[in-house]
Amino acid sequence: MDVLLTEEERMFQRQMRDFVKAEIEPCVAEWDRRNELAFEAFEKMASVGLTGLTVPEEYGGQGGSLMDAYLASVELARASISVASIIGTHTGLALGGLYRYGNEEQRRRFVVPAAKGEKLCSYALTEREASSDISRMSTTARKDGDEWVINGAKCFISNGDRADIILVFATVDKQLGNKGITVFVVEKGTPGFSVGKVEDKLGIRAESAAELMFDDVRIPVENQIGEVGKGMRIALSILDEGRLDVSGQGVGLASAALDAAIAYSKERQQFGQPICEFQGIQWMMVDMANQIDAAWLLGYRAARLADQGQRFSKEVAQAKLFAANTAMDVTRKALQIHGGYGYMKELPLERYYRDAKILEIYEGTSEIQRLVISRALLS
């Protein structure tokens, strides 16, 4: 499939693979055991420019494409979905939204230091009573002179406990539903802002999921991103880019699981021969390889459309849905091929299996992806 990439994209892919092997892979088991955001991973990625991969050079970034972001996600997720999620949240959700919808002053103030890796970004949309149904959002923003006053809480916010810059969605009027949602920047250390519970999760344990609390948080009007009432449109646009990142995570994780299964099947002897000689094992691995290739191609199509400036909401929903399903199925089969050894923490299979489930949940559940796709088909 590399033949579908340009020479520059293949070179970037190789560079990513080398970086991950040298700097990320050796640390992922320990980061997972620690069960906290692996800030060292963010620092490592900042040192090679990944924190501003898709941001133009004039704003401190690398000027890369969404295809570059997709390829980076795949390679990072081969080692750790947690690490891929840290940078995906920072660049694909928060930073991407700040650059696209912020004005020139906001780009200079927020985007430049974040793209350089001097500050970590987060994206605060989800609430306990308003996750898939954004219109039920209860976090409010009230205008008071030249300030906005924010009250409410967000949950399951990736990077939330360590973020310096948080893209926060709040409603200016609950009665307006979606049309009241507006976007703001809240910076770490702002009076009234605090971090609540940091969740103890099944998987992606080297990434955080935090509760964020807003108690009369006052921010200047200059921290409003885009127009009042346009937050829903902004959120959905940003989520398309986030879903591309998650589809890459699914491909990368499934690829790592398949590689491990192939290597183990060649070494493991049963009944006088390597288990890779058994047709049952061979056919399992064929199905796994086919699923991974199909998932990669769906993500590739979405990334190409995005870079061409075309609408890609349906295509990226298809990519995310299929990649999540693929990761779940492939990691299950890979663990089964390893048998009892795959169930033990000495091998990474149990981590792959735990991590895979989140792909069916964040950046829109699989059910939401089906809703997006079905609406596009019937429109």
- Where do the domains of the chain lie? 2-120, 122-229, 232-378
pLDDT (tens digit per residue) in 160-217: 999 999 999 999 999 998 999 999 999 999 999 999 999 999 999 999 999 999 999 9
230-239 pLDDT tens trace: 999 999 999 9
Q: Annotated catalytic residue: which of 127, 222, 363, 367? A: 363
- CATH for 122-229, options being 3.30.70.1450, 3.10.450.50, 3.40.50.620, 2.40.110.10: 2.40.110.10
Burial code of 274-309, b = ≥16 C-beta within 10 A, e = fewer?
ebbeeeebeebbeebeebbeebbebbbbbbbbbbee
What is the average per-residue pLDDT within 286-296?
98
Q: What pLDDT, on a 0 to 100 scale, did the predictor assign at position 136?
A: 87
For residues 34 and 138, what is the distance between their CA atoms, to the nearest angstrom? 33
What CATH code would you report for 2-120? Answer: 1.10.540.10
**318, 377 in Cβ contact below 8 A?**
no
- Specify the CATH class of 232-378 in words: mainly alpha
Question: Is 363 among the residues known to form the active site?
Answer: yes
Residue with the two structure tokens 């893209």: 167
Q: Please give the pLDDT value at position 374.
A: 98
% of the chain with per-residue pLDDT over 70: 100
For residues 364-371, average pLDDT:
96
- Give the pLDDT score at 129: 86
Q: Taking a C-beta distance cutoff of 8 angstroms, is the pair 182, 124 a contact? A: no
Q: What are the two backbone dihedrals, phi and then psi, of residue 240, each rounded to the nearest 5 degrees?
A: -60, -45
pLDDT exceeds cutoff 90 at 15: yes
Residue 131 in this model has a pLDDT that exceeds 80: no
Q: Rounded to two decimals, what is the model's pTM?
A: 0.96
Q: What's the CA dihedral at 53, 291, 31, 155 to 10 degrees?
A: 80
Q: With 90 as the cut, is the pLDDT of residue 133 above it? A: no
pLDDT digits (tens, 9 = 90+) for 302-357: 999 999 999 999 999 999 999 999 999 999 999 999 999 999 999 999 999 999 99
